[in-house]
Amino acid sequence: MASAIAVLVLAIVGLIDSVYMTLAYYHVIQRSPRLFPNIVCSPEGGVCTSVVDTPEAHIFGIPNSLLGVGYYAIMLSTASASIALNRWLFLPGLLGIAGVAAAFSLYLAWLLIFRMRTACVLCFLAQAINLALFCIIAAIV
């Protein structure tokens, strides 16, 4: 069940990242380039323009980070149940969801690097976690 523990840990880190980015999206927390330089902010002309305020930060009106919260909650709950039962649950479904998340993450990374030309460390962290989750689950199936 080492793979379930790996999924659990990655899902926890991803959930924390996504909750933070969701709070930033909804302006619940203050985004400061002094506190988080080049993490969620990309300086443009001396002003911090947040990545979460761009059109690419949401799909169908739903923030990408909020989708991440749901995704990581699914991964977290499934990994927890799998550890408790000592067997994986819903593997084909998890693989499908992880595949969609990984593909979307590659697209978002491409947007950040080539279109937006910015380095959002927290964005890249979530994208790396999504790819890792897909690889772990694919290796189990």
For 58-68, how does the pLDDT look when each residue is reduced to its tens digit (9 = 90+)? 999 999 999 99
**Distances from the Cα of 59 to the Cα of 28, 51, 55, 72, 113, angstroms:** 20, 14, 9, 17, 19
The span from the CA of 22 to the CA of 31, in Å, is 12
Neighbour tally for 114: CB within 10 Å: 8
The span from the CA of 42 to the CA of 95, in Å, is 33
pLDDT tens-digit map of 117-141: 888 888 999 999 999 999 999 999 8
CATH of the domain at 114: 1.20.1440.130
> pLDDT value at position 38?
59
> pLDDT value at position 42?
62
> pLDDT value at position 24?
86
> pLDDT value at position 1?
82
Answer whether 56's CB lies under 8 Å from 37's CB.
Answer: no
Spans of the chain below 50 pLDDT: none
Residue 130: give the domain boundaries. 2-140
Answer whether 51's CB lies under 8 Å from 33's CB.
Answer: no
The span from the CA of 60 to the CA of 47, in Å, is 28
Total domains in the fold of the chain: 1
The span from the CA of 36 to the CA of 126, in Å, is 16
> pLDDT value at position 43?
60
